[in-house]
Amino acid sequence: MDEKSSWNSIGDELVKCPVDGCDHIGHIITKVHCRMAHNMTRGEVRKKYGMPTRLITKSLRQVKMEGARND
């Protein structure tokens, strides 16, 4: 997992909210999520917790290929 300099994902990846204990994962960490879930602005979240962590996802084809190898 890498930290990145954007609140948006690129391609098939996802981003995880940087707040400790928050399990929110999506294509974007919105200003609304920061306000509703943490009562903070995105700037406040960034200052206190850093930027979102990017998560590289596997395609359905990759998952099927791994399943076939494990059979």
- What is the per-residue pLDDT for 1? 47
Largest separation between any pair of C-alpha atoms in the chain: 48
Cα(68)–Cα(71) distance, integer angstroms = 5
pLDDT of residue 41: 98
**3 sits in which H/E element:** strand 2-3
User: b/e map of 1-29 (b: 16 or more CB within 10 Å)?
Assistant: eeeeeebebeeeebbbbbbeebebeeeeb
Higher pLDDT, 64 or 21: 21
Question: How close are the terminal C-alpha atoms of the chain, in Å?
Answer: 28
12-51 pLDDT per residue, tens = 788 999 999 999 999 999 999 999 999 999 999 999 999 9
